[in-house]
């Protein structure tokens, strides 16, 4: 199944736009309860206004909230980002730490956020267990665990460490484009023949093909048709 994922999404990557570890950390915090597309609409102006951890720590709350408003839950997110900036200044000289044990001590940063930052900003392998990843590995029978930390450890035992980050991206891509929560595109899925949950969604190719999303759609359908 992993090899099929590799073929399906050879260029899978973090879909949040960033240029520094701090930008990625903030973007991941903002992505809660919204889409990466929406976050990417907000961050160009945000990152131009707030360039350092100290900028976030000393931000005018009302001004920051206006930048964050389109992402939803903007007051809570402003609290998180300001607290994050203050913690980075106080504990790490304003720099984002490159270790899991340090990242998870920061306000609003759990293992999922930490693993995204480690994998994409520091090149440290990590498994990102978001809703898509958890749903798919359970459908595939890789684990029955519901707790994200237990899912992370269970999958980590199956897959070589060096492949964790790309596996996370490819699985999340597949969840967003093919294996949807309510109506997966089973009949147009390149993994269909190996999937123990085949039949959860429509099994006919034409009906399922209508559910496939993303710019990779033609490639996905071609792979599915050949398998």
pLDDT by residue (tens digit) across 74-128? 999 999 999 999 999 999 999 999 999 999 999 989 999 999 999 999 999 999 9
Where helices occur in 96-158 by DSSP H, the ranges are: 100-103, 111-121, 131-139, 148-156
* Tens digit of each residue's pLDDT (9 = 90 or more) over 196-221: 999 999 999 999 999 999 999 999 99
Closest CA to 47 of 72, 35, 64, 34: 64
**CA pair distance 187, 209, nearest whole angstrom:** 7
Domain contains 14: no
* Tens digit of each residue's pLDDT (9 = 90 or more) over 161-180: 999 999 999 999 999 999 99
Residue 227 has pLDDT above 90, yes or no: no
Among 121, 150, 176, where does a domain finish? 121
**CA pair distance 6, 100, nearest whole angstrom:** 26
What does residue 190 show for φ and ψ, rounded to 5 degrees? -60, -20
pTM score, whole prediction: 0.93
Chain mean pLDDT for the chain: 97
Catalytic choice (11, 130, 147, 213): 130
> How many domains are contained in the chain?
2
Q: Is 210 a catalytic residue?
A: no
Identify the CATH number of the domain in which residue 31 sits. 1.10.340.30
Give 3-state DSSP helix, strand, coil % of the chain, rounded to 5: 60, 0, 40
Residue 40 pLDDT: 98
**CA pair distance 223, 188, nearest whole angstrom:** 9
Bind-site residues for [4Fe-4S] cluster? 179, 186, 189, 195
> 191 and 154, same structural domain?
yes
> 192 and 133, same structural domain?
yes
Phi-psi region of 120 (alpha: psi -120 to 50; beta: other; left: phi over 0): alpha
Residue at token pair 């913690």: 87
Closest CA to 201 of 219, 226, 178: 178
Identify the CATH number of the domain in which residue 162 sits. 1.10.1670.10
Residue 136 has pLDDT above 90, yes or no: yes
Residue 36, H or E segment: helix 36-49
Token output for 208 = 């399922």
Question: What value does the mean pLDDT take over residues 179-183?
Answer: 98
> 114 and 85, same structural domain?
yes
Range of the domain at 221: 2-9+128-225
Q: Is 102 a catalytic residue?
A: no
Question: Do 141 and 130 contact (CB within 8 A), yes or no?
Answer: no
**CA pair distance 137, 144, nearest whole angstrom:** 8
Domain contains 16: no
Distances (CA, A) of 151 to 57, 80, 141, 146, 147: 34, 26, 11, 7, 6
């Amino acid at each position: 199944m992993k090899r099929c994922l590799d073929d399906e999404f050879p260029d899978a990557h973090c879909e949040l736009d960033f240029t520094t570890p701090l930008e990625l950390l903030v973007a991941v915090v903002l992505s809660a309860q919204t889409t990466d597309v929406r976050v990417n609409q907000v961050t160009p102006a945000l990152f131009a206004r707030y360039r350092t951890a100290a900028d976030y720590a000393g931000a005018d709350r009302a001004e920051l909230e206006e930048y964050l408003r389109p992402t939803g839950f903007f007051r809570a997110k402003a609290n998180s980002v300001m607290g994050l900036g203050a913690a980075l200044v106080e504990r790490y000289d304003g720099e984002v730490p490159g270790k899991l044990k340090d990242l998870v001590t920061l306000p609003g940063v759990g293992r999922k956020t930490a693993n995204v930052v480690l994998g994409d900003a520091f090149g440290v392998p990590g498994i990102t267990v978001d809703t898509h990843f958890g749903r798919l590995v359970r459908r595939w029978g890789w684990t029955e665990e519901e707790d994200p930390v237990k899912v992370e450890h269970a999958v980590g035992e199956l897959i070589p460490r060096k492949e964790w980050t790309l596996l996370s991206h490819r699985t999340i891509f597949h969840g967003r484009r093919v294996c949807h929560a309510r109506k997966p595109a089973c009949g147009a899925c390149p993994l269909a023949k190996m999937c123990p949950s085949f039949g959860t969604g429509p099994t006919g190719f034409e009906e399922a093909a209508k559910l496939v999303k993303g710019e990779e759609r033609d490639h996905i359908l071609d792979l599915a048709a050949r398998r």
